[in-house]
A = this chain, B = another copy of it.
């Protein structure tokens, strides 16, 4: 389970937010959210696989704790798309022209459309 899929589920995001306030057990999380205990257990397993959560065994209890490191990948992705200045009209025009030129060349030159790399 990758980080992006891990945080795609709303309940898992709630669980992470809850764990940000401090460790908790499966029964606690299940009591605080409208899902069964096995459901919480499996969500926690996924979060563990994503490296977002770790469990400290304390006797028969298991204290789940947030591990925010993997979120840097998410932030990096978002940042890479966000930090991009608003494209001026002139640049848009240029890109538009580029698209048209490229497509014409492709139509004239390429017999197959399954070239291996882009």
The chain A residues found within 8 Å of chain B, CB to CB, are 4-5, 7-8, 10, 13, 16-17, 20, 22-25, 27-28, 31-33, 58, 61, 63, 66, 68, 71-72, 74-75, 77-82, 84, 92, 95-96, 98-99, 102-103, 106, 113, 115, 118
Main secondary structure of the interface of A (DSSP, over half): helix
User: How many copies of this chain?
Assistant: 2
- Chain B min CB distance to A89 (Å): 12
CA A102 – CA B84 in complex, angstroms? 48
* Contact among B4, B32, B71, B113 with A31 in the assembled complex (CB-CB below 8 Å): B113
Q: B71–A78 contact, CB under 8 A? A: yes
Q: A63–B99 contact, CB under 8 A? A: yes
